[in-house]
Structure 1
């Protein structure tokens, strides 16, 4: 898969998510959310869920897990996704003429 495939998949997922998300909670998640709600006393529990998504994303990015999975699935990194081009495209390696190894050492 490529950078274009990743961009298409992200856009498709973004469309499918919509503005609201119903999430079922298991017992452990409900307990942890209740603890965080008591601790932070947010105006709305949705705010804690938004913070949790941001924290999970940042953690995956900081620990290299995001790039690891992106490289496995799409052969790109998050920086490449943000810039809209691969490192090869940035450095001009995709425009270099192919090497002729047969004639390379002939004089």
Structure 2
């Protein structure tokens, strides 16, 4: 897979999510969400948004996101943000033409 494949998947997932999504909660998660809501005085929708942001940031900082992106798409999050791979940025995907006549000329 490639950067283009990741961008296509991201677009498809973003579109599929829409504005709202429903998630079934197990008793433990429901209990933890109720406790956080009571303690912080924040509604559950806001806590869920914050939870996703926190999980995302932790995955970025720990390198877990890059690991999964490299495994699935052979790119990193930085490459995704830049829209180019490191190889494309450094010119490593282009080799200079060989000049056989000047091959060993200094």
Same fold (TM over 0.5): yes
- For residue 12 of structure 1, what is the aligned residue in structure 2? 12
Structure 1 segment 1-107 matched on structure 2, within 5 A: 1-42=1-42, 44-97=43-96
Q: TM-score, normalised by structure 1?
A: 0.88
Extract structure 1 runs of 4+ deviating beyond 3 A.
none
Equivalenced residues, count: 100
Q: TM-score, normalised by structure 2?
A: 0.89
Structure 2: distance between partners of 1:98 and 1:31: 65
Q: CA RMSD in A?
A: 1.6
Which runs of 5 or more structure 2 residues have no equivalent in the other structure? Answer: none
Deviations 1:19-40 (A, max 9, x none): 0011111000001001100111
Structure 2: distance between partners of 1:29 and 1:96: 54
